[in-house]
Chain A
Amino acid sequence: MTYNVSEKRWTAGRQGIDMDTPIVDIENLWFAYNGRNVLEQIYFRIRQKDFIAMIGPNGGGKTTLLKLILGLYKPTKGTIRVMGNTTEKASHHIGYVPQNVHINNHFPITALDVVLMGKLHPQKRWVRRTREDRRQAMDALEKLAVDRYAARKITELSGGQRQRVFIARALVTNPVLLLLDEPTASIDTKGQADFFRLLRDLNADVAILVVSHDLLAVSTHVKSVACVNKGLHLHNEAEITGEMLEEMYPCTEEEICPVELIAHGMPHRVLRNHK
């Protein structure tokens, strides 16, 4: 992905990326922790242009699945391919926006330096922090409308501003997929709506997987919903907009989808906003 200054947008100029290859391809994945199965029999694909919300109860394995995709954990059984490669080799294609970065309230780092972390190239240790890196970092901050805080300490920013800085950090890594873990936890309702509009705009160029605790509210901008509770069930776009609900996915009971949404008897429908 290259950054085009004149157009001020990220253009998909990623060479050698086959649009048909799934970004993430998970087959029969199992993960056990302390002898207990956290994830069972997961089949999951993330493709270009996807905008997936991952929901499920606490301890249902959402964050674990994210960390498996990022290569931070190793599967107990099954395979994960990222861009057709192993996670170790391909995790740098993923822009990760963690939930809770540092609990240290005084960590000495500016917003700009946080974003520059996305420009780390451990192989080239002496030639880092080039002017070009700085420019790209500033552009990413500007894209997220937090460039005026570039020189501020990150700990002085509000939760929402900090979140945008972390997204900027993920964007300067030129990702094909953005993974966000509970991004709206520290943002108010109005901010959340803005936030999802921002993600929708970013989705023009990059696939998005966003994890949410909230079982009820899923933004209208989300194209599909993955329910995770040990198992995973993906509800696609058509189903969410209520079309062909029964025919496409006769998903009515727990044995098909691991997460109960909204209410019993009203399975897996994401309601549109009241207008």
Chain B
Amino acid sequence: MIDALQYEFMRNALAAGLLASVICGVMGTLVVVNRIAFLSGGIAHAAYGGIGLSFFLGVPYLLGTIGFTLAASMLMAAITINAKHRADTVIGVVWAVGMAFGIIMLDLTPGYNVDLMSYLFGSLLTVPGSDLLIMLVQAFLVAGLVTYFYNDFLAMSYDEEFAQIRGVPVRGLYFLLIGMLAVTIVMVIQVVGLILVIALLTIPPFIVEKHAKSLWQMMVGSSLLGALFTVSGLWLSYTFDVTSGAAIIMVAGTGFFLSLGIHEKKEPQPHGVGNPDRLPKHPLSGG
């Protein structure tokens, strides 16, 4: 791995992967605790519609895609805000229609034939330095916004009604969260691909959540774990000459199932020591 770093493309791939890990660690934490993983998938796939539209209209790729994805995500946010836990159908529709729209737009665009695979899995090994700079700026933006609104996001994620009573602007924050998510996803997709974005958004936060004592810990832990997956995946990709994005996801997936196994073994302790009045956990008991 160390000797691989003499190549600039490997250094860039590593830097892009680490930046994506941090951005996805922070945003993914909010995704997992707010249970909007499916909505994130919807945004990521609807983004393909933006890519198709950008090529068809000949507008700059990033501008068109971000504009289209923001619009689609705001639409989903508006429809889901009053029924967050029953929003899956709407998201599924936008997911499918966005993707289909993108493909038709690309069909209608003369002379262009964008490779769907590069959109799905990205091209970590061909990341230019300019993309790294954009990701760095974005990482700081995301970190800044999340820090500023940290307590509000925490209250909204944990107990939306209580937050509202305390005067937290929960509706505005929900749109802000989805908007940040849309921009994050578009930016990171073009570097590491749609599938890796979803994996990095969900797998590290899910593993860390059980062990973290605060959202902050969960964000830091997810970023570190994502970085570990990325570095090991890249190393496997380099050593065995396999697709980098897929290798990272396989590592992350292995970590996911390992953590499930470890947790299964730890969980059944109904008579916790030193806590005699501990009640058995019921799925509806509010635990």
Tier of interface size on chain B: 35 or more
Chain B contact surface mostly: loop
Contact A102 B286 (CB under 8 A): yes
Tally the A-B contacts, defined by beta carbons under 8 Å. Answer: 112
Per the 8 Å Cβ criterion, residues 243-287 of B in contact with A are 275, 277-279, 281, 283-287
B167 within 8 A of A: yes
Cβ–Cβ contact A109 & B158, under 8 A: yes
Interface size class of A (residues with CB under 8 A): 35 or more
Q: Is the pair B285, A120 in contact by a Cβ cutoff of 8 Å?
A: no
Is the pair B151, A128 in contact by a Cβ cutoff of 8 Å? yes
11 further contact pairs, Cβ within 8 A, besides A109-B214, A117-B151: A98-B162, A100-B286, A101-B159, A102-B158, A113-B154, A117-B154, A122-B152, A122-B168, A129-B151, A159-B286, A169-B162
Query: In whole angstroms, what is the CA distance A96 to B161 when docked?
Result: 9
A94 — which chain B residues lie within 8 A by C-beta?
165
A105→B165 contact, CB < 8 A: no
Chain B's closest residue to A155 (CB) is B287
B132 contact set on A, CB distance < 8 A = none
Q: By CB atoms of chain A within 10 A, which of B152, B159, B169, B212 has the most?
A: B159
Interface residues of A (CB under 8 A from B): 67, 70-72, 91-92, 94, 96, 98-110, 113-114, 117-118, 120-123, 125, 128-129, 151, 153, 155-156, 158-162, 169, 173, 186
Measured CB to CB, the residues of B under 8 A from A are 33, 35, 148-149, 151-152, 154-155, 157-159, 161-169, 209-210, 212-215, 217-218, 275, 277-279, 281, 283-287
The answer for the CA separation of A101 and B277 in the assembled complex, in Å, is 20
Residues of A within 8 A of B285 (CB): 159, 186
Which single member of A70, A71, A110, A120 contacts B213 (CB below 8 Å)? A110
A120 & B35 in contact (Cβ 8 Å cutoff): no
Contact assessment for B281 and A105 in the assembled complex, using a CB-CB cutoff below 8 Å:
yes
Distance from A88 Cβ to chain B, minimum over Cβ atoms (Å): 9
